């Protein structure tokens, strides 16, 4: 299993949201680039970056900053938030992103998703952000009537190889990942599953590794100091790689 530290960008600042609420943001540092460099110094090879403004507006708001993070760290960066067109995907991949995450676009524009998969294949990941088991979109502000299991099965049938699963009720809470939902997901699909939301400490990393998910995203726990990134990477080492 790989451990992926996370940086969420809002108005140019690195923040963490509580349960996806834009009105409950907490700035976690002064400089996203310096945070990314520290993650790399701690041994991280991968980085998860989300443009929160972009997710709401459907545009690449933090493109230049994210491109600089990719360039200056050399990390394998997966990027999400506001990616709605083939031009958006190409822009990030051309700047060195490892994967582009489609969330709202994957849910609402099937033709676009199919075109993206045909063109960029494994460089496309799909974010499955859910609340009460239903998939959400537009920066988690809109809840659909699509069940997360049904959506995941559909994505696998289309050829998606990697999904990032987030239980929004867990995100930013340090309450532990939703292992039950993840276990159900693993029973229905064979894709690479990256678990996001709720990770607090090394025990959570151990639990996710035992569940044999592909990856675990850690955000607030790293900023709050309840999880040591070096230890987490060491515990998870030896599992799957990108």
Which residues belong to the active site? 8, 129
Residue 60 φ/ψ, nearest 5 degrees: -90, 85
Contact 2, 46 (CB under 8 A): yes
Contact 56, 86 (CB under 8 A): no
Closest CA to 232 of 220, 218, 242: 218
* CA atoms of 215 and 47, how far apart (whole Å): 11
Tokens standing for 238?
């030896």
Cα four-point dihedral sign 130, 46, 216, 192: positive
Cα four-point dihedral sign 5, 68, 161, 157: positive
* CA atoms of 14 and 35, how far apart (whole Å): 9
For the chain, the farthest-separated pair of C-alpha atoms sits apart, in whole angstroms, at 42
Sequence-ordered strand ranges (E) for the chain: 2-10, 13-18, 21-27, 46-51, 76-80, 99-102, 124-131, 134-137, 142-147, 162-167, 192-196, 215-218
């Amino acid at each position: 299993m790989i451990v992926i530290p996370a940086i969420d960008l809002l108005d140019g600042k690195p923040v963490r949201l509580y349960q996806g609420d834009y009105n409950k943001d907490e700035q976690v540092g002064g400089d996203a680039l310096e945070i990314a460099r520290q993650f790399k110094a701690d041994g991280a090879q991968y980085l998860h970056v989300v443009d929160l403004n972009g997710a709401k507006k459907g545009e690449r708001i933090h493109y230049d900053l994210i491109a600089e993070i990719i360039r200056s760290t050399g990390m394998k960066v997966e990027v999400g938030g506001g990616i709605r067109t083939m031009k958006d995907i190409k822009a990030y991949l051309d700047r060195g992103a490892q994967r582009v995450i489609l969330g709202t676009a994957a849910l609402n524009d099937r033709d676009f998703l199919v075109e993206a998969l045909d063109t960029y294949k494994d460089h496309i990941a799909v974010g499955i952000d859910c609340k009460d088991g239903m998939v959400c979109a537009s920066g988690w502000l809109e809840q659909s009537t699509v069940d997360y299991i049904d959506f995941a099965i559909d994505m696998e049938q289309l050829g998606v190889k990697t999904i990032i699963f987030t239980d929004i009720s867990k995100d930013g809470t340090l309450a532990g990942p939703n292992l039950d939902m993840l276990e159900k997901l693993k029973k229905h699909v064979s894709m690479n599953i990256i678990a996001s939301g709720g990770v607090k400490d090394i025990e959570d990393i151990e639990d996710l590794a035992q569940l044999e998910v592909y990856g675990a995203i850690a955000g607030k726990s790293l900023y709050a100091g309840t999880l040591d990134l070096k230890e987490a990477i060491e515990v998870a080492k030896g599992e799957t790689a990108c």
